[in-house]
């Protein structure tokens, strides 16, 4: 799916990056733990989060992420959006909770990033 | 091999507002020099984690970036408090982060393991009451120095 498809599914507002809606999204990650994001995510992943602090955007830059989704109607402060724009991120905001947003995206075929776990049995799990 | 350049970034204790800016600068500089893709992302992730640790856990320190024709080196030195049990600190999920750091999304106890996973060479030395030194190297196969 593309960022545009995601915005439609989530009835999301496009806060930044109206010109980036055609970019494809391969996998998703939903987390408020930036270290988990830094550990597992790659640049083709969309990050769904409830955190709206500057670290979400800085973490995204470190990973070359293309798209961020803020859940539960949260809108980050203007300066945070500005740095997202500077980086070329697309930023969406949905009224849905993170749980519901993920559920709907999953229903439409989007899957999690494959992540190795501490109790790894050799199989990867999104 | 001779260093192409070296830059130092002072990192202040508990400065959550600026935390991450050194890593942002490091990533942008390396990108400008034509370093990209997987290795740049690994440098950026490790740099961010080590910088945030200076802010969250240390009394302050310095992050140093050194570029060689065949590798990127990151070095973190702080003025304390040091780590009592380094092998414990290296475990995934082990963290002493405070509530302020947790509220920002840190304190998952993944930082040191993340650095180790991302760096080609990783070493940590720590002494309680003195401080912590972390050295990381990232090989640059195929990058033959700056094009400029
Ligand atoms: N520079 C440092 N100075 C003192 N203690 C540190 C430093 N870096 C890491 N630590 C200790 O190691 C633990 C694990 O670090 P890390 O893996 O980055 O996880 P986190 O930062 O999420 O706690 C920290 O909680 C802290 O106790
Ligand atoms: Mg850490």
CB-based contact B11:B56 (threshold 8 Å): no
Is the pLDDT reported for residue A44 higher than 90? Answer: no
B87 occurs within a structural domain:
yes
How many structural domains does chain B have?
1
CB-based contact A11:A94 (threshold 8 Å): yes
DSSP state of A2: B
Q: Which of B1, B43, B52 is CA-nearest to residue A35?
A: B52
Give me the domain span that covers residue B19: 11-139
Contact flag B107-A55 (C-beta cutoff 8 Å): no
For ligand 2, the distance from its centroid to the CA atom of residue B74, given in whole angstroms, is 16
Instruction: Say if strands B71-78 and B121-127 run parallel, antiparallel, or are unpaired.
Output: unpaired
Which of B26, B48, B114 would best serve as a mutation to test chain A binding (most A beta carbons within 10 A)? B48
Q: Which of A43, A39, A7, A4 is CA-nearest to residue A20?
A: A4
Task: Give the ipTM.
Answer: 0.89
The structural domains of chain A, ordered by start, are 3-112 (3.40.1390.20)
Neighbours of B46 (CB within 10 A): 28
The predicted pLDDT at position A42 comes to 84
Is the pLDDT reported for residue A16 higher than 60? Answer: yes
B2 occurs within a structural domain:
no
Summarize the confidence of residues A25-42 as an average pLDDT: 92
Q: Which residues of chain B have pLDDT under 50?
A: 148
Is the pLDDT reported for residue A126 higher than 80? Answer: no
Largest CA distance in chain A: 44
Model pTM above 0.90: yes
B4 occurs within a structural domain:
no
Sign, CA dihedral A102-A103-A109-A113, equals positive
Give the CATH number of the domain where residue B56 resides.
3.30.565.10
- Mutate which of B11, B95, B107, B128 for ligand 1? The one with the most ligand atoms within 8 Å of its CB, which is B95
Q: Does A118 touch chain B (CB under 8 A)?
A: yes
**pLDDT band (50, 70, 90) for residue A62:** very high
**pLDDT band (50, 70, 90) for residue A117:** confident
């Amino acid at each position: 799916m593309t960022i545009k498809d995601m915005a439609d599914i989530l009835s999301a507002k496009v806060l930044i990056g109206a010109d980036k809606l055609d970019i494809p999204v391969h996998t998703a990650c939903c987390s408020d733990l930036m270290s988990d994001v830094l550990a597992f995510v790659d640049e083709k992943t969309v990050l769904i989060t409830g955190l709206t602090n500057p670290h979400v955007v800085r973490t995204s830059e470190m990973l070359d992420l293309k798209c961020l989704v803020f859940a539960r109607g949260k809108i980050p402060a203007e300066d945070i959006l500005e740095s997202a724009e500077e980086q070329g991120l697309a930023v969406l905001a949905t009224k849905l909770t993170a749980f519901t947003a993920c559920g709907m995206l999953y229903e439409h075929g989007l899957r999690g990033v494959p992540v190795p776990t501490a109790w790894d049995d050799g199989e990867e799990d999104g | 091999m001779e260093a192409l350049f070296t830059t130092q970034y002072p990192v202040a204790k508990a400065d959550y507002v600026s935390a991450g800016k050194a890593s942002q600068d490091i990533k942008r500089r390396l990108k400008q020099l034509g370093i990209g893709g997987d290795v740049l992302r690994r440098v950026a992730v490790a740099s961010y984690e080590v910088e945030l640790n200076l802010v969250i856990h240390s009394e302050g320190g310095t992050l140093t970036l050194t570029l060689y024709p065949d590798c990127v080196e990151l070095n973190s030195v702080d003025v304390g408090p040091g780590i009592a049990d380094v092998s414990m600190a290296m475990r995934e999920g082990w963290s002493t982060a405070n509530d302020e750091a947790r509220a920002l999304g840190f304190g998952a106890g993944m930082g040191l393991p993340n650095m180790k996973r991302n760096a080609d060479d990783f070493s940590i030395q720590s002494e309680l009451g003195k401080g912590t030194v972390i050295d990381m190297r990232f090989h640059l196969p195929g990058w033959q120095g700056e094009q400029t």
